[in-house]
Amino acid sequence: MKQIFYLIAFLMAAPAIGQKRPLLTTDINLENIRYPFKVHYLPLHIQRQSLQMAYMYVRPNAGNGRTVLLLHGKNFCSAYWERTAADLLNAGYSVLMPDQIGFGKSSKPKQFQYSFPLLAANTKALMDELHIRKVAVLGHSMGGMLAARFTLMYPERVEQLILEDPLGLEDWRLKVPYQSVDDWYDDELEQDYASIKAYQKKNYYGNSWHPEYDRWARIQAGWTKNPDYPLIAWNAALTSDMIFTQPVCYEWNQIAVPTLLIIGRRDRTAIGKDKVPPAIAATMGDYPKLARQVQRRIPDAELEELPDTGHLPHIEAYDLFISPLLGFLSEKQEKERNFGCK
């Protein structure tokens, strides 16, 4: 029986071979998806509900005493950090990878008021449970917005901040008409494999597609075949509302830790872009331009622009991504060695 479970997990996670392979149903909490490291759960009691926050926490045999917190994007789970985590471990870092509530292997509440401060507080509770005092925080896409909010709320717990193509570099409310949660929900109910792949191909990968990309599209699309998909779609709608209505772009100048922006020059992602006329859509999501503006606003910020790369550098252009990340993380250790302090 155990062998059958792992076979199903492997088939769900493996790269696609063409488009004829049947799309398997994804379990609501990814029970049939194997993660790269052992998964643990933190019980949380929030909004009169008992929930579970899934996470992976891995430590090297000979570590440098530092921990990197990896925060996933909206259309992904923490498993997509596998290669990044492996290289961080090899460099001596412990790595903490949570699935936020509503995502991945974590609980999908029937009713929930999502907010970035709440997700940040949950993440701090996880760090407290594991006795992790400080972290370097790396957030991708939606995780970049959460990383920024976490840093603003708990600056004493953050050594360095890394933003990989973060959402929230601009306030989309200034250009996109308000969408209710019901509107977002209707959009989610229309999703299928073809639409998910088309979106990712256009917005993440510059209209190209490689077999390794299919793994992440199929996990998300497999949910649409689940009888509980309306619940999954409702959580997705609630988090879309959170992203749209809770910008961080007005608070960049309050971030007081060394920060690195890693930006794909091809990235033009923007929430609500499909809901405005083409002339307005063309003014949204210019990541290189926006990132340069943000770099000037954060007092101690560096910017790494990756050529011919879109919204997902650590999948699409890993070698270009990992080098500046490791270099930035090592800067702190170099400064400590030079000044003889921690």
For 157-207, the pLDDT digits (tens) are: 999 999 999 999 999 999 999 999 999 999 999 999 999 999 999 989 999
For 283-303, give the DSSP string: TS--HHHHHHHHHHHSTTEEE
- 136 in any annotated domain: yes
How many distinct structural domains can be found in the chain? 1
- 296 in any annotated domain: yes
- Positions of the chain with pLDDT under 50: 1-19
pLDDT score for 334? 64
State the CB neighbour count (10 A cutoff) for residue 230: 12
- 99 in any annotated domain: yes
pLDDT score for 12? 46
* Contact predicate 287/293, CB 8 Å: no
The strands making up 67-71's β-sheet, listed across from edge to edge, are 40-46, 49-58, 94-98, 67-71, 135-140, 158-164, 259-264, 301-306
For 320-340, the pLDDT digits (tens) are: 999 999 999 998 766 665 555
- 19 in any annotated domain: no
Among residues 14, 9, 26, 12, the alpha carbon closest in space to that of 191 is found at 26
330: containing domain: 2-14+24-339
Three-state DSSP at 32 gives coil
Bridge-based pairing of strands 49-58 and 40-46 is: antiparallel
CA–CA dist 98, 105 (Å, integer): 9
CA–CA dist 317, 102 (Å, integer): 28
Q: Which residues contact 18 (CB under 8 A, 6 or more apart)?
A: none
* Contact predicate 232/108, CB 8 Å: yes
Give the CATH number for residue 273.
3.40.50.1820
pLDDT score for 218? 96
H helices within the chain, ranges in order? 2-13, 82-90, 116-129, 142-153, 181-189, 193-203, 211-223, 229-245, 278-281, 287-297, 313-316, 318-339
pLDDT score for 338? 59
Residue 342's Cα: distance from chain center in Å?
Answer: 29
CA–CA dist 234, 225 (Å, integer): 15
